[in-house]
Structure 1
Amino acid sequence: MNTSLGGTLQIGGDLPVHRLGFGTMRLVGDGAWGEPQNPEEARRVLCRAVELGVTLIDTADAYGPEVAERLICEALHPYPPGLVIATKGGITRQGPAKTEYVGRAGYLIQCVEMSLRRLKLERIDLYQLHRIDPRTPLEESLGALRQMQEQGKIRHIGLSEVTPAEIEQAQKIVPIVSVQNRYSLADRRHEQTLNWCEQHNIAFLPWYPIAGGKLLKPDHPFAQTLKQLAARYDASPAQLSIAWLLHRSPVMLPIPGTSQVKHLEENIAAAALPIGPDEWAQLEAASQEPS
């Protein structure tokens, strides 16, 4: 059981990672607010993820806020060679599931500096703008991140929750190497963006990669097909959902998160599922049926 079974991806052409990463939002309190219920288990999850071959850990200063970054440092610093810590800035959090987008240059520069301090890094390998702030020109937001990149404090820059047009606009300001959008087997709202990323060899990090299944009605044909195929491989629907993401595109980099070691190990095991082309075709056809 190792994430290497899911294949590798070169982010930005020079940053190799295994294509099954780990997302840290679920390590903190509900609504991405506050401390974890079990801090020791949270740190064990992070350590176990690295043991199982995870080479990309995705986080953000808004998780907690600040809690997830601190936990990563407590559990893993000094970091093993080859481990990429990807973090994000540009969202402020006022309470559980309460956020506001802030893209002002001064604020983003502060975000980068504080993430560097909390993570005990000299350079962040992948820094993603958490959301585009509609009140701030994109040139100002990405100009600030470009400045930090020129200073050697950021290696690569990515975006989150964007359209192809927004990526193209951003590319005129600074090179973009990754996109993190909501996407899952049950939630294909960003299919066009994924296709664009695949055509331009940009890493696509789907967030909410499993829980999107909650959107399905129990009597939906897709839900039944997913359950039947999972049982055929002695797997869970969640594992099959992760395996499908890895199969869907070579630029896909799923980052399923959990606060329990047991669930982490189940997620990682999805990389080894020997699903055949007939089963993928059956699952794909069922997912396209109307609800």
Structure 2
Amino acid sequence: MTATPTPASTGTPTSTPALTATGVPRAGGAGRIGGSTVSRIGYGAMQVGRLREDRKGTIALLRRAVELGVDHVDTAQFYGDGFVNEVIRDALRPEDGVVVVSKVGADPNPGGAVPLRPAQRPGELRASVEDNLRTLGLDRIPVVNLRRLDTRPGLRAEGDQVVDLDDQLALMTALRDEGKIGAIGLSGVTLEGVRQALPAGIACVQNLYSLVSRGDEEMLRLCAEQRIAWIPFFPLGGAFPAMPKVADAPAVIAAARSLGATPAQVGLAWLLHHAPNTLLIPGTADAGHLEANIAAGTLALDEATLAALDATESPSLDGTTLG
């Protein structure tokens, strides 16, 4: 697994290698995060926690991702209470050149009504980074996302968990200076939060975003201008009952039928076409779905198809239309 000491970041692909460290064509082409070149289609490991009873199969799934050109894996200590990190440690090899990105800001809450609890205070952030280092078996994590709790859906901070962003960034910067993390990212953050954090040097922003959830379009433009990688989570929507699904959009269904692809592939391909600084981390526990996600990186969308997809309405979580 690769670690990088470079705090500066570039989100937009320029002249970058076409092959991964293992000599495989980069899934979706090449992009940049935290000073490293990565495939634009990576792998979000959250669903690996569902495979706890099949460790061998889980390792095989991660190895298959590397074979398909994935060299960017997104994880967190609170995924499976450390299980996901441990499997990543066992599955990935230094020669794979995989950039592992983790996140802090929540802790496992086993047995609770919600399996996570906020962990926003600087001391908790530091402890979470240390836990990630231990379970991943790394001396330095290439990129660590600070998971703020400013936006829906998901946990919201209350009481002493409402922490000023500057205090958190001071801690994250200290960890970067100590060499424990290579670069700082943000997740679940507002536009104002991104602007406030820019002086700290931000490698990436992870927010809820998809073809049918485009409330952060202005934030995406800012990230492109600042050469910050844009990494949408829930890129196909539908993760919560009130969240629209990309696969239900008529333009997506029509494009999929015309291209001989699945609606999910069209949704992922649109994200790659929409902004050059976009990196994808679709997650799955199924090898077939993994291969389909990677294949979305080869899907060509002509101008007419893109125009139809761009015109798709984007309802917010409260039912209003974002356009």
> How high is the TM-score relative to the length of structure 1?
0.88
Partner of residue 103 from structure 1, selected from 110, 120, 124: 120
Q: Give the distance between the partners of 1:191 and 1:87, measured in 2 at CA.
A: 24
Q: Give the distance between the partners of 1:277 and 1:37, measured in 2 at CA.
A: 46
Partner of residue 252 from structure 1, selected from 238, 258, 278: 278
What's the secondary structure of 1:178's corresponding residue? strand
Is 1:227 aligned with 2:248? no
Code of the residue aligned with 1:114 in structure 2: it is D
Code of the residue aligned with 1:4 in structure 2: it is R
Larger helix percent? 1
Is 1:93 aligned with 2:108? yes
What's the secondary structure of 1:64's corresponding residue? helix
- Give the 5 Å matches for 1:150-169: 150-169=177-196
Task: Please name the residue that 1:197 is paired with.
Answer: 223
Q: Give the distance between the partners of 1:16 and 1:53, measured in 2 at CA.
A: 12
Is 1:19 aligned with 2:40? yes
Aligned residue pairs, count: 280
What's the secondary structure of 2:261's corresponding residue? coil
Task: Please name the residue that 2:288 is paired with.
Answer: 262
Contact kept? 1:28, 1:68, Cα under 8 Å: yes
Q: Give the distance between the partners of 2:27 and 2:43, measured in 1 at CA.
A: 15
Contact kept? 2:238, 2:245, Cα under 8 Å: no
Code of the residue aligned with 1:237 in structure 2: it is P
Q: Give the distance between the partners of 1:147 and 1:119, measured in 2 at CA.
A: 20
The alignment yields a C-alpha RMSD, in angstroms, of: 2.4
Is 1:7 aligned with 2:29? yes
Task: Please name the residue that 1:32 is paired with.
Answer: none
Q: Give the distance between the partners of 1:62 and 1:96, measured in 2 at CA.
A: 15
- Give the 5 Å matches for 1:1-291: 4=26, 6-12=28-34, 14-29=35-50, 36=52, 38-76=54-92, 78-94=93-109, 95=112, 97-132=114-149, 135-172=162-199, 174-212=200-238, 215-216=243-244, 223-287=249-313
| Identity percentage of aligned residues | 36
Structure 1 residues 97 and 211: CA distance shift in structure 2, 3 A: farther
Q: Give the distance between the partners of 2:43 and 2:245, measured in 1 at CA.
A: 28
Contact kept? 2:77, 2:84, Cα under 8 Å: yes
How far 1:286 moved relative to its partner?
3.2
Contact kept? 1:149, 1:156, Cα under 8 Å: yes
How far 1:287 moved relative to its partner?
3.8
| Cα deviations by residue, 1:241-265 (Å, 9 ceiling, x for unpaired) | 1101100101111110000111100
What's the secondary structure of 2:134's corresponding residue? helix
How far 1:88 moved relative to its partner?
0.6
| Cα deviations by residue, 1:82-104 (Å, 9 ceiling, x for unpaired) | 31000011102324744332222
| Cα deviations by residue, 1:120-168 (Å, 9 ceiling, x for unpaired) | 1111110111225552222322222211111111110001011221012
Q: Give the distance between the partners of 2:269 and 2:143, measured in 1 at CA.
A: 24
